[in-house]
């Protein structure tokens, strides 16, 4: 199980530093609706994370298994190589876009997050787990769980660890802000301004590096 946790840990870190859910969290926390919408957003994000990675792990079970115990799991290796290369391409494209853009333009839907109510916030958080990058990372985590051939109980623990780490950058600001809004508000404003300038490049580099790691995991199976 520890090997599986080590396998999914870098993927969970990449998910945790995804800029879109972090920015959405900050906008909600800086809005008048934070007391009504912050916790539903967190619940939706956590439930979505757990559901998507669980489905990815279940889907990975459909890959053919090696005939012998000591034989490398080539099917999982190929899948990890494909997912890793897809993340590398995604990271390169995002990095090029961040360097070409001189100003940060927030998507219209993200700008509207601050006006959402509780149910809408929960729904948006769930949908954010269906972004292409989020799905690729969840598939990478699911392949890691499948590759270590874990019992159901151990797989559930690994999924829980992945979910906690991935959700930490959304959960911590929400908890701290609801507990001490006056202290956290200036910090949230500074983080929002920093992310507006740098989030694209930072996210691209993280995804690129994680893609290389996942592709390396895949190559180990050959």
* C-alpha to C-alpha distances, 79 to 123, 141, 215, 216, 222, nearest whole angstrom: 30, 11, 9, 12, 12
> And the tokens for 123?
């729904």
- pLDDT higher than 80, residue 65: no
**What pLDDT is recorded for position 67?**
57
Report the C-alpha gap between 100 and 21 in whole angstroms.
Answer: 23
| Residue-wise pLDDT tens digits, 102-136 | 555 566 777 788 888 999 999 999 999 999 999 99
pLDDT band at 197 (very low <50, low <70, confident <90, very high): confident
**What pLDDT is recorded for position 105?**
59
Q: Residue 15: CB partners within 8 Å, gap ≥ 6? A: 49, 134, 137, 138, 162, 165, 166
Do 204 and 95 touch, CB atoms closer than 8 A? yes
Q: Considering only CA atoms, which of 143, 169, 131, 153 is closest in space to residue 53?
A: 143
Residues 133-155, mean pLDDT to the nearest whole number: 86
**What pLDDT is recorded for position 41?**
97
* C-alpha to C-alpha distances, 62 to 88, 179, 211, nearest whole angstrom: 25, 45, 23
pTM score of the predicted model? 0.88
Residues 146-152, mean pLDDT to the nearest whole number: 75
Hey, where are the domains in the chain?
A: 2-219
Q: Considering only CA atoms, which of 128, 154, 121 is closest in space to residue 49?
A: 128
**What pLDDT is recorded for position 128?**
94
**What pLDDT is recorded for position 145?**
85
Residues 183-212, mean pLDDT to the nearest whole number: 88
Q: Which residue has the tokens 């992945």?
A: 162
**What pLDDT is recorded for position 47?**
97
* Interhelix angle 132-147/34-60, nearest 10 degrees: 50
pLDDT band at 151 (very low <50, low <70, confident <90, very high): confident
């Amino acid at each position: 199980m520890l090997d599986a946790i080590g396998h999914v840990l870098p993927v969970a870190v990449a998910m945790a530093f995804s800029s879109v859910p972090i920015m959405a969290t900050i906008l909600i926390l800086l809005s008048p609706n934070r007391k009504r919408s912050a916790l539903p957003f967190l619940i939706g994000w956590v439930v979505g994370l757990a559901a998507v990675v669980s489905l990815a792990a279940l889907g990975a079970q459909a890959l053919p298994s090696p005939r012998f115990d000591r034989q490398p799991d080539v099917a999982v290796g190929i899948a990890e190589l494909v997912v890793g290369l897809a993340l590398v391409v995604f990271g390169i494209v995002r990095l090029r876009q961040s360097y070409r853009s001189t100003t940060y333009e927030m998507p219209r839907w993200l700008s509207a997050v601050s006006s959402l109510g509780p149910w809408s916030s929960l729904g948006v958080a769930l949908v954010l787990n269906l972004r292409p990058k989020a799905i690729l990372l969840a598939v990478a985590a699911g392949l890691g769980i499948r590759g270590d051939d874990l019992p159901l109980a151990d797989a559930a623990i690994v999924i829980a660890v992945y979910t906690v780490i991935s959700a930490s950058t959304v959960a911590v600001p929400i908890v701290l802000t609801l507990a001490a809004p006056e202290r956290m508000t200036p910090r949230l404003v500074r983080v929002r301004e920093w992310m507006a300038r740098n989030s694209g490049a930072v996210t691209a580099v993280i995804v690129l590096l994680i893609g290389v790691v996942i592709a390396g995991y895949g190559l180990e199976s050959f």
